Amino acid sequence: MYNKYNFLFTKEEFLNFKELIYLKTGIVFSENNKIVLENRIKNKLNEYKLSSPSEYYKIILYNNNELNEFLDSVTTNLTRFFRNSSHINILKNYVLPDLLEHKKEEFDRKIKVWSAGCSTGEEPYSISMILDKMNIDYSIIASDISYKSLLIAQKGNYKEDKIKEIPDQYKNYLNLNNDEKFYNINERIKKKIAFDYHNLKNKSQLCYNMDIVFCVNVLIYFDSKSKTEVINNFYETMNNYSYLFIGHSETLINLNTKFKMINTEWGFIYKKYT
Ligand SMILES: C[S@@+](CC[C@H](N)C(=O)[O-])C[C@H]1O[C@@H](n2cnc3c(N)ncnc32)[C@H](O)[C@@H]1O
- For residue 198, the model assigns a pLDDT of 97
Percent of the chain scoring above 70 in pLDDT: 97
The amino acid sitting at 187 is E
Of 88, 17, 146, 37, which Cα lies nearest the Cα of 267? 88
Q: How far is the CA of 120 from the centre of ligand 1 (A)?
A: 9
Cβ of 119 closer than 6 Å to ligand 1, yes or no, is: yes
Quick check: 5 pLDDT over 50?
A: no
What tens digit of pLDDT does each residue of 75-106 get?
Answer: 999 999 999 999 999 999 999 999 999 999 98
Quick check: 36 pLDDT over 70?
A: yes
Q: Which residue lies with its CA nearest to atom 10 of ligand 1?
A: 218
What tens digit of pLDDT does each residue of 144-185 get?
Answer: 999 999 999 999 999 999 999 999 999 999 999 878 789 999
In degrees rounded to 5, what are phi and psi of residue 211?
A: -95, -30
Q: How far is the CA of 106 from the centre of ligand 1 (A)?
A: 33
* Packing angle, helices 53-62 and 64-73, rounded to 10: 120
Mutate to test the pocket of ligand 1, among 36, 70, 84, 119 (most ligand atoms within 8 A of CB): 119
What tens digit of pLDDT does each residue of 179-228 get?
Answer: 878 999 999 999 999 999 999 999 999 999 999 999 999 999 899 999 99
Cβ of 226 closer than 6 Å to ligand 1, yes or no, is: no
Residues with Cβ within 8 Å of residue 27, at least 6 apart in sequence: 21, 74, 75, 221, 222
- For residue 246, the model assigns a pLDDT of 97
First to last CA, the chain: 59
Q: Which residue lies with its CA nearest to atom 13 of ligand 1?
A: 117
Average pLDDT over the chain, rounded to whole? 93
Of 117, 120, 190, which Cα lies nearest the Cα of 151? 120
Summarize the confidence of residues 264-272 as an average pLDDT: 96
- For residue 10, the model assigns a pLDDT of 86
Helix, strand, coil proportions of the chain in percent (round to 5)?
Answer: 45, 20, 35
Cβ of 246 closer than 6 Å to ligand 1, yes or no, is: no
Question: Starting at the edge strand that comes first in sequence, how are the strands of the sheet with 174-176 ordered?
Answer: 157-158, 183-185, 174-176
Cα 84 to Cα 247: distance, rounded to the nearest angstrom: 9
Of 267, 208, 216, 268, which Cα lies nearest the Cα of 240? 208
Q: How far is the CA of 189 from the centre of ligand 1 (A)?
A: 22
Q: Which of 6-20, 143-157, 242-256 has the highest mean pLDDT?
A: 143-157
Cβ of 117 closer than 6 Å to ligand 1, yes or no, is: yes
Cβ of 146 closer than 6 Å to ligand 1, yes or no, is: yes
The pTM for the full model equals 0.94
- For residue 7, the model assigns a pLDDT of 63
Mutate to test the pocket of ligand 1, among 69, 74, 75, 250 (most ligand atoms within 8 A of CB): 75
What is the band of 31 on the pLDDT scale with cuts at 50, 70, 90?
A: confident
What is the band of 6 on the pLDDT scale with cuts at 50, 70, 90?
A: low
Render 22-80 in DSSP notation, one character per residue: HHHH-BPPPGGGHHHHHHHHHHHHHHHT-S-HHHHHHHHHH-HHHHHHHHHHTS-----
Cβ of 68 closer than 6 Å to ligand 1, yes or no, is: no
Cβ of 257 closer than 6 Å to ligand 1, yes or no, is: no
Cα 96 to Cα 115: distance, rounded to the nearest angstrom: 16
Q: Which residue lies with its CA nearest to atom 12 of ligand 1?
A: 117
- For residue 35, the model assigns a pLDDT of 87
Of 29, 27, 83, 18, which Cα lies nearest the Cα of 53? 18
Cβ of 109 closer than 6 Å to ligand 1, yes or no, is: no
Which atom number of ligand 1 is nearest to the Cα of residue 83?
A: 9
